[in-house]
Homo-oligomer: A and B are copies of this chain.
Amino acid sequence: MMRRWMTMLALAWAAPVAASPQSWVEQNRHAILREYVDLLALPNVATNLADIRRNAEHISAMMARRGLSPRLLESGDGKAPPLIYGEWRVPGAKRTLILYAHYDGQPVTPEQWKVTEPFKPVFLSGRHDKGGKPLPFPAAGQPIDPDWRVYGRAASDDKAGVMAILAAVDALKAEKRRPAFNLKIVFEGEEEAGSPNLTGLLRRHKETLASDGWIIVDGPAHQTGPTQLTLGVRGDVNAELIVYGPVRPLHSGHYGNWAPNPGMMLSELLASMKDETGRVTIAGFYDDVVPLSEAERAAIAAVPAPDAALRRELGLGWAEGGGATLTELIQLPSLNINGLRSADVGERSRNVIPTAATAALDLRLVLGNDPARQVEKLRQHIRAQGYELFDREPTMEERLRFPKVAMLTSETGYPAERTKLEHPLVRDLTAALRKNGPLVVLPSLGGSLPLYLIRQELGAPTLVTGFWNHDNNQHAEDENLRLQNLWTAISALAAVMTMK
């Protein structure tokens, strides 16, 4: 009963027939935003399975209202966030394509959020650090400025993807059109946790997920504004490095100058990993990289350079790379410090020699890099700096036996993936997106998604569309989405769904 009632309601508010996806979006902004902020209000950190399941049920209901026959594709052991699956079968269609987004979000550090609590979405008239002011939810009929923003965890990464795909379906239904292919929809629930169960899910539901290609709706638009189509992604592997000092914190007066300080040791170790231009000095770090093709190099050269504008916007007096552009540099593997921690700073700082210092690292990978092999290069480098390296906390005996001890742990990570520029789907998608507005085509995104799995398990190519404002603070506090980017995404995806 409940379901039928909701379906009727969905049909009711999607009823006015619009002349184009753009005009449908214009006429339905309030309803889209209402549904969207309700979705953002559900906490969705992948490690909280109860929260994740609430999201899955909620999104399934959204799909049911649209007649998309949703199902939860489970891992079988009940321990993994399910894939949310829906479909719109089109009799006589020649191909089947999957539109993908993920419904989980990055972990949150609530006290760092300035604008709102992570799961209490709010509207602002612009960026909070550029004079944007809080706004009430727009009243019915009130004009909605395209520069307004919604703040909240996953506002752009990637519940915007979920919302845009479902609203594009609404746009088609309102125009009484149907997709040009069998449309399958997949929403993943643990992308931000590194997709540890995706392989199993793809294997278990191989038949259901059969397709001629996946279109990923995740990631930002180009920094210069246009929608971005990328043919691949970097791989990624996270590692944590802990350098050990004394087994208990020491008074820095009584022992300072004598007891080794793990903060200083970690600083020296990290400093040894890059040269002054930011080039990684770990032996063999760039050795496995598959060179770009002539066509890929040409595509990169055609991308408008956002560097100067970005440096102004970000307040950067210099950039790594010794003069190379951002677009060139993200085609290379990277080593990045995500965080540092040793004892405390600020008001909680005390005059101690800490017991340990920790660095959270991520290594981005490009075609040719293997995650385990890349971490092994890091491990060898640390050993070459005089460290005995463990994958667990060293024992007292080990601390005494070796001058310097550290622990390096790493996740499994995953490799990069890239579809060739010459693939027919690239041509079709490029044409459909160009109809909707300016487009940048990039061989590889700087960010990471586990796209290699889709080729490995299902044999399908993947292409990635990026719609969200690049200054969206994704993965950080005060994540936000500029509304125009959502409107553009909805009409673009409606165009993609009807591409020949």
Contacts and interface: CB of A to CB of B under 8 A. Distances in A.
A358 B346 contact: yes
A448 interface: yes
Interface string A320-363: 11000010011010101111111111111111111001111010
Among A246, A261, A321: residue with most chain B CB under 10 A: A261
A249 B360 contact: no
A315 B358 contact: no
Contacts of A405: 317
Contacts of A336: 252, 256-257, 261, 351, 353
Interface stretch (A135-143, A451-459, A474-482): A474-482
Nearest to A337: B263
Contacts of A344: 109, 338-339, 341, 360
Nearest to A341: B345
A345 B364 contact: no
Interface in A242-288: 244-261, 263-264, 266-268, 270-274, 276, 278
A345 B360 contact: yes
Interface string A203-229: 000000000000000011000000000
Contact of A321 (B253, B257, B345, B352): B257
Determine the main DSSP class of A at the interface with B: mixed
Given A315-B400, A326-B255, A404-B317, A473 B338 contact: no
A76 interface: no
A311 to B, nearest CB: 7
B400 A311 contact: yes
B329 A257 contact: yes
Interface in A465-490: 470-471, 473-478
Contact of A253 (B347, B448, B478): B448
Nearest to A250: B314
A445 interface: yes
Contacts of A359: 263, 345
A459 B116 CA distance: 57
A246 to B, nearest CB: 4
Nearest to A350: B475
Contacts of A252: 334, 336, 338, 362, 364, 475
Contacts of A250: 314, 476
A473 B349 CA distance: 15
14 contacts: A219-B254, A246-B315, A248-B314, A252-B336, A252-B338, A253-B445, A255-B446, A256-B446, A258-B319, A261-B336, A317-B403, A340-B345, A341-B345, A350-B476
Interface of A: 47, 106-107, 109, 129, 219-220, 233-234, 236, 238, 240, 244-261, 263-264, 266-268, 270-274, 276, 278, 307, 311-321, 326, 329-330, 332, 334, 336-354, 357-360, 362, 364, 396, 399-405, 445-448, 470-471, 473-478
